[in-house]
A and B are shown apart, each in its own frame.
Chain A
Amino acid sequence: DGGITQSPKYLFRKEGQNVTLSCEQNLNHDAMYWYRQDPGQGLRLIYYSQIVNDFQKGDIAEGYSVSREKKESFPLTVTSAQKNPTAFYLCASRAHNEGADTQYFGPGTRLTVL
């Protein structure tokens, strides 16, 4: 089955630790995105990547970092500089040749800072 996988589903982190969230897609999509979701605030864009080895900051990039070494993978690192990292994180991908901005989402990772 083609799709987007995110792991782990639940993640717990101690304050001051960096943690990396995985996002993998086998849809052969070029573009990938990371969003943060907090209750009542919709989705906010953290980082996005249009092609391998290239990525751009979204609206709330501070305290986060990403890499795009392979087309299939777009991991997100939540660093200790992120002041309030507890949230639900969603990864999405988009094909350049399909309906302009249509994005498809993974199942999400819930991060809790203890």
Chain B
Amino acid sequence: AQSVTQPDIHITVSEGASLELRCNYSYGATPYLFWYVQSPGQGLQLLLKYFSGDTLVQGIKGFEAEFKRSQSSFNLRKPSVHWSDAAEYFCAVGLGGTSYGKLTFGQGTILTVHP
């Protein structure tokens, strides 16, 4: 079965610093890849997604992610973090085909931003 690993449970950065959140997946083929963000007590908002083509994808709020097939990774980056980016971030994998659109989520990374 496919799995998604977010190695960092909690990350703290200073406002204005760069950010990289890690995501690794385990699956034989190239899955569909997603990053979602969740503010406390809220639903999940889609930041970006990768299906095929250019391995560097741009998302909302200045985020980008790079798919690296050789490393089975899909890390999320932002060059300069704002205090409003503090939230929990989830990486997710979809298999397409006959999987009925189901997603497998990582355990999440909580981002704290210091002023």
Using a CB–CB cutoff of 8 Å, the interface residues on chain A facing chain B are 4, 6, 31, 33, 40-45, 48, 50, 56, 58, 88, 90, 92, 94, 96, 99-108, 110
Contacts and interface: CB of A to CB of B under 8 A. Distances in A.
B34 A105 contact: no
Contact of A42 (B42, B96, B108): B108
Given A42-B106, A43-B90, A108 B43 contact: yes
Interface in B43-81: 43-46, 49, 51
B105 A100 contact: no
A103 B105 CA distance: 12
Given A42-B106, A42-B108, A48-B100, A104 B46 contact: yes
B107 to A, nearest CB: 4
Interface of B: 4, 9, 32, 34, 36, 41-46, 49, 51, 90, 94-96, 99-103, 105-108
Nearest to A40: B107
Contact of B49 (A6, A33, A102, A107): A102
Nearest to B100: A50
Contact of A56 (B44, B51, B100, B107): B100
B100 A99 contact: no
Contacts of A44: 105
A90 B36 CA distance: 13
A55 B100 CA distance: 11
B44 A42 contact: no
B108 A101 contact: no
Contacts of A58: 102
Contact of A94 (B9, B44, B45, B101): B101
B51 A100 contact: yes
B28 to A, nearest CB: 17
B105 A43 contact: yes
